[in-house]
Each structure stands twice: as C-alpha cells, then as structure tokens.
Chains A and B, each alone.
Chain A
C-alpha cells in the first residue's frame, strides 16, 4: 500500500467517459474534489449524476479516463473505512429480509472490524449515530416495517457509523420529513467543518447552494464546477437544464 500524502485530493477524475451499451451517460468529465470540500452535484434527471458518483467511488469502471481516490486508483483503492455512501435506491433485501435497524447500522462498522469481532467501541459508535439521526427508538424494529423516511435515516446512520473521510450521498433525504431533513443537513455541515469531505447529489438546489462550498453542474458533460457564489453568477444551470429540454423535445419529435 502506498502512503497517501496530505496533499492528495479526495477525488481526482480525469476525462471520465461512460456508456451503458451505446447510450452515453457521462462524457469527458474532469473533476477534482479537495479533501474537506463540500461538493454539490446537480443536474436534470437522467443527467448521469448517480453514474458519475458511482464511478468516482470506484463502484463502476469508466470506459475511458481515470479516477483517483485519495491518490490511489479508485478501483484498486482498498481502504473501505474511508468511504461512506448513501445510495438513492435502497437494497431489495430491505423489503423481505428480517434484519433490525441496529444490525443495518452496525454494517457501517464492518469495514473497520474486518474478520475480527466488533469491539465495544464499534457498538458505542452505533448507539451514538442511532441517537444522532433520531432513530434510537427504532433500533430493534425490522427495517422492512419502517417508512421510507425512517429507512433513509437508517442508511444515513450506517454511512455516519462508518466514520469515513469521504461521504457520498445520492439524494439522501427523499421521503424524509422537512424537520429531520434540516437537522440532517445541519449535521452534514458540522461533519464537513471537522474536515470530512462531502459529495452530495440533491435535486433541491436551495439546499445545495446553502450548504455546499462548490457546485458541479452536470448533464452528461460537466457544465461548470466552481465555488458556490461564483456558480450562482453563471448560467450553467440554465444551459444544463435547457440542453436536457432540447434533448427531450428532439427525442419526442423523432417519435422515440
């Protein structure tokens, strides 16, 4: 394992391109996320945000281009303890499998434990995040019996329990009520202040501009990536969304 220096950015993507079969999803995106950044990733529906995030995390291999996580190639990056992820779609098993909220949140500690048994520290951290996310009273409930918002909070708690250096969140608060949503974003803000790098996909642009330091606007290609204040002065959002509208109306016109 090569030692990573403090200077390495959390994520460095260069000329990343990805297509499902012949359908291009991400086109020539280069993007650097410095350690400690809070990046908001925005773009219209179907703009490749989720795919790009998975590529950045090394869950998918780009067709061309390279991604580095903390200075190491993303697909061979093996420090699972440094990554946390709340995906947009929860797993299929959470509707059928008997597994308690506490057991799911505890999975956040698995990368730390490896083959060794969980320690009392691991259990304490799980208790703490259950409290922090406000689901301590649900800890023994089966996850399939929870509402969508409660489930989502469980996955957020799992990502927090992993005590990662990089937290990636893909529309984490879908189905979560407004109050706990605000509390969650305040918590993200606090975590970011302590030096944790955050990449957030969120359709609510108000939330993104309020919390993120930098914003990347994507619609297959990267339209803009800069500080939030500067971003608000550009027309990247307008361009990205209008190109999406144009693409939709072309495909509608061609009867596709």
Chain B
C-alpha cells in the first residue's frame, strides 16, 4: 500500500518532469541535430549511388517523410484497427483537409500564418476531440458520427477554397488532396521527425494501457486504467499521424497507411506484439516499393504506395489459406 502510494507519486513526478523534458529534447533534436544528420546521410547516399533518385532534394524529403510515415501510421493503426475504428483516419484526414483550406486562405493574406499544415493539425485534433466527445455521449464510435465528420470536414474545405476564387491554390490543394512526394518542404520533414519521435515514445510508454483498452475495456476499467484518458490520447495521436502522412498520401488515401499494413499483418500472426512489428515492416515495404514503382511506372506516388500495401494484404490472405 505504502509502496503503491510511493510508486504513483514517483510516477506523477516523473510525468511532470519527463513530459516537458521529452518535448524540449525532441524539439532540440528536430531543429539542431536533425538537419546536419539529414545532410550527412543523404550526402553519403548520393555520393555512393549517384542517381537522381537519391540526389534530388525533393526525393530526399519525400523518402525521409515516407519512411517515417511507414513507422508512425501502422504503429497507431494497430490499435485503431483492432478497435474497429478503421475509418477514423479517413474522417480525421478529411477534416484536416478543411484545416488546410482555411490555412491556405489565411496564409495568402497573412504572411506569418502561412503554415497550412499547422491549421490541418489543429482541425484534425479538434475533430478528434469532437469524435471522442460523441463517442462518450453516444457510447460508441458508431459510423454515423464518423460519416458526418468526414463529409463535414471536406465540405468546409471545398467551401473555403471556392470562396476565394481570386486566389489560386490549384497545385497546392491538389497536393494535399492526393499527396505529392515532390512537394514536401524541409519544415514538414522536420515536423514529421518530431511527430514520429512523439508517437513512438508515446506508444513505447503506454503500449500496455492502449492494448488493454483495445482488447477489453471492462477489464481495463477494473484495473483502474483511465480508459477515457487513453482513448483521447490514442485518437489525438491518430490525428497527428494522419496530418503528417497526408503530405505524401493525400487526404483521400491517407487512411490506407493506418489500416492496410495492419490488416495484412493481422492475417499472418497470432500475437499482437508480433503483429505490431510486422505492420511496420509492411508499411516500410509499401512506402519504398511505392516510391520506386511510381518512379519507374510514372504514376502518382500516393496511389502507388496504397496499391503496393493492398498487394501485400492480398498476398497475406492467400498465404494464410
């Protein structure tokens, strides 16, 4: 009893010190340590291979972001899919698109607010909290609130864009809708690095709690795990990952990266932890093979990644028979 009290107090202190410390360390890494590391890695790779594929700055940004998306998205997806919430990513991405549209319009007139991805983050997190609220009040992540948020977010986006007809966002809008690997500015690569560190750290720390509420909410409540808190944490982190992955896959296809590698891994394993690792492996294969095939077949990268992932899924099912 006394030991428990001590342990929970120690836990609280650790959280109070550790959380800001982790955020500061992540930010420091992203802004100070990451740019030289990035240059060193791609400089060496480019020197060794010397192909346009690894020497172009655009593709260096795209590859880096893609590899990180391939880690973060299936990692979060493993919990989300197993809670039968596969479409939540789609809903959040469409709301994020609404945020991007607002961000573009605002950014066009206010120079220092020209960060559409930040608007997307805010919109997606608000939508995530809204969904969580609806889930608590209506007692389920039913597909009706999902459908409403999905279409509502998208409607806002289209409405906002159509309003400012004088401002031309054509290419930018398209890149957020369908994703564009050649359109990832370095700030967004940095954002992706920071998000990936946060997501991996969060999952490493709370894996047990997330798994427990995914598998058996009642037992988790009995063990006095704060189910509401971890629900909210999971859905907010999902929103972050969706916005990050949207740059490459686009709002319409982004949910695939949360769902398809996980669905494939689930076919091949009888253990959740193995499935988690396998999901990330499949995510990476999909990203890399998708980028290469999009280059050699001259098709868009986002769809190529999704189609490779689905091919893996089909193989997994056939292999399982």
Contacts and interface: CB of A to CB of B under 8 A. Distances in A.
Given A59-B218, A91-B215, A107-B212, A98 B224 contact: no
B203 to A, nearest CB: 12
Interface stretch (B23-31, B97-105, B110-118, B263-271): B263-271
Interface stretch (B4-12, B40-48, B121-129, B246-254): B4-12
Nearest to A92: B84
B271 A1 contact: no
Contacts of B219: 85, 87, 91, 107, 158
A113 B211 CA distance: 14
Question: Which of B216, B219, B223 gathers the greatest number of chain A CB atoms within 10 Å?
Answer: B219
B61 to A, nearest CB: 35
B215 A113 contact: no
Contacts of A87: 218-219
Contacts of B211: 99, 103, 107
Nearest to B226: A78
A91 B271 contact: no
Contacts of A140: 270-271
Given A81-B4, A93-B216, A98 B272 contact: yes
B274 to A, nearest CB: 8
Contacts of A81: 4, 223
B269 to A, nearest CB: 5
A80 B205 contact: no
Contacts of A255: none
Contacts of B83: 93
Nearest to B5: A1
A79 B5 CA distance: 10
Contact of B271 (A4, A80, A103): A103
Contacts of B214: 93, 97
Contact of B270 (A77, A83, A107, A142): A142
A5 B271 CA distance: 42
B222 interface: yes
A145 interface: yes
Interface band, chain B: 20 to 34
Interface in B265-321: 266, 269-273, 275
A87 B212 CA distance: 15
Given A4-B1, A59-B221, A79-B4, A98 B266 contact: yes
Contacts of A57: 222
A107 B215 contact: yes
Contacts of B206: 115
A113 B208 contact: yes
Interface in B183-218: 205-206, 208-209, 211-212, 214-218
Contacts of B208: 107, 110, 113, 115, 118
Given A107-B212, A115-B11, A99 B271 contact: yes
Interface in B223-266: 223-225, 266
Nearest to A81: B4
Contacts of B4: 79, 81
B82 interface: yes
Contacts of B224: 77-80, 83, 111
A14 to B, nearest CB: 22
Given A98-B270, A115-B206, A80 B215 contact: no
B280 to A, nearest CB: 15
Given A98-B266, A98-B275, A115-B206, A91 B218 contact: yes
A110 B225 contact: yes
A128 B266 CA distance: 28
B216 A91 contact: yes
A141 B270 CA distance: 6
Contact of A100 (B7, B225, B271): B271
Contact of A98 (B8, B212, B271): B271
A206 interface: no
B208 to A, nearest CB: 5
A167 B221 CA distance: 15
Given A4-B1, A81-B4, A107-B216, A145 B270 contact: yes
A222 interface: no
A57 B4 CA distance: 20
Contact of B222 (A59, A98, A142): A59
Contacts of B221: 59
A99 B273 CA distance: 8
Contacts of A103: 211, 271-273
Given A81-B223, A83-B222, A98-B266, 20 more contacts: A77-B224, A78-B224, A79-B4, A80-B223, A84-B222, A85-B218, A93-B214, A98-B269, A99-B272, A103-B271, A103-B273, A107-B219, A110-B212, A114-B7, A115-B206, A115-B208, A140-B270, A140-B271, A142-B271, A162-B223
Interface of B: 1, 4-5, 7-8, 11, 82-83, 205-206, 208-209, 211-212, 214-219, 221-225, 266, 269-273, 275
8 contacts: A91-B215, A93-B215, A98-B271, A103-B273, A107-B216, A111-B224, A142-B271, A162-B223
Can you list the 3 inter-chain pairs with the closest CB atoms, starting with the nearest?
Answer: A80-B224, A142-B270, A80-B223
